[in-house]
Structure 1
Amino acid sequence: MAARKALADRLVEIRKDAGLSGHELSVRCGWHAAKTSRIQSGKAAPTDADIRAWCAACGAEDQVADLIATVRATDSMYVEWRRRHRTGLRRAQERLISGYEETSLFRIYVSNVVPGFFQTPEYATALMGAVIDFHETPDDVAEAVSARTARSRLIHERGHRFAVLIEEWVLRSQIGDVATMTGQLRHLLSLMPLASVSLGIIPFTGRRKVWPLEAFYLFDDRRVAVENLTAKINVVQPREIVEYAKAFNELSGMAVYGSRARALITEAIEALR
């Protein structure tokens, strides 16, 4: 409902920017004023045709694509972790795989943990255990870890590329015990030679052009999944996807790769000792 109300508010702004009253817009669109009222209050979701008519009436045809994308994703734009995980983590992990299989290029920026595709089972177990404790959701860690690590097979399958950026902080933030973290860092080193993987690390000391952001995952140019403490936000509006792609490109320019990235990982392993 929050996403639908945000869409409704945006449509109201478009109408007001055009200098139209609700009645005038209804006349131009050729429908009853009650329909305009329901859309503006968020009680009714507009169809694609409604969006096109609304924007045409307001001279805002350039906003049609973004608005239609928003309408189609309204019910899944903002998903609270507590609601998504109310029966445990396994189902949530399994639901992700179909969308991942359809993606050719993953652009992933994570500022807080090693991204799921690159996690070892031990690291994933420690991390998911902490998530379950914090959100007080049913404990199905073993099944959830199995589902998460199973999708790592995509790294080795043709047709998928992974451009991944992590902050150096991630290498130094200990998840699980020393053996778990050491194993995870060594796993990162083992993935770096793969042709499907580009791993960049943004150093502590680098001059920042883009401030540290929440974790986000770009699925080709179709969708962005943004993860924060309480929810996942699915971004589908083309103009917002362009913004995230721009941020990823800027962050990429701040990262180090190859031998310099390996050196940072090796230093983090040594620090654990």
Structure 2
Amino acid sequence: MSDPTRLDGQVALVTGGAGILGAKFCAGLAARGAAVAVVDLSADTAGAIAAAIDGRVEGFACDVSDANSVRDCVDAVADRFGGIDILLNNAATKTADPRAFFAPFEDYPIATWREVMSVNIDGMFLMAQAAGRVMVAGGRGGSVIQTSSIYGLVGPDARIYEGSDYLGGSINTPAVYSASKAAVIGLTRWLATHWAKDDIRVNALVPGGVGSGQNGVFGDLYAKRVPMGRMATADEIVGPMLFLASPAARYVTGQVLAADGGWTAW
């Protein structure tokens, strides 16, 4: 019996491909046989991630908030690999100024709000539009996976941030992050119905919290809020992503798959 999770002969484009989850996603897709385009803001960073992964993997630069950059990147990937079968719409931003990103709601800068939205949802739209156009024209179907968040489904629990620290300052979950990640789910369901006739499946992946430099206080408080009693490792999000990408999920579209240790079950 053939393995329905294999991706041999398929081409995957991963935005945010140099991030904590993105790099793991790229390696996981390549390990299952896909050719992988590692897409990130920096060509050098994307290229370094690609070089560290065995298989047919190459780096590409793209600013997902810029329509021209997105179009040029998608065209380059399609030309290089002969099409696109899997889009992992994964790019997101905390902006270049963490203190502005984590500012209190009552004082939140509108410029920061717009900067986050330009990547987290405008970038999702632009990349889905450009890659989807290639996938529809190719006529071979495919899978689009869009990374959301538990905070696209539920509100944050402020208690886990008491005494927490990240990059030298206090943290929270900004309203702009929740709003953008909730919008990802709405876009996902719309695209799932729009492209069903083209055999293009569109699903949202919802990771729980993954350690990324927060202090121990945050990790301990977060763990107490999760039924499974801990944060996720980046590797634990790869399997659910591969399921959605692969033929094993060929009748799954418009769905929201949470890999969150049970966070949203409480």
Rg: which structure is higher?
1
TM-score where L is the length of structure 2: 0.31
TM-score where L is the length of structure 1: 0.30
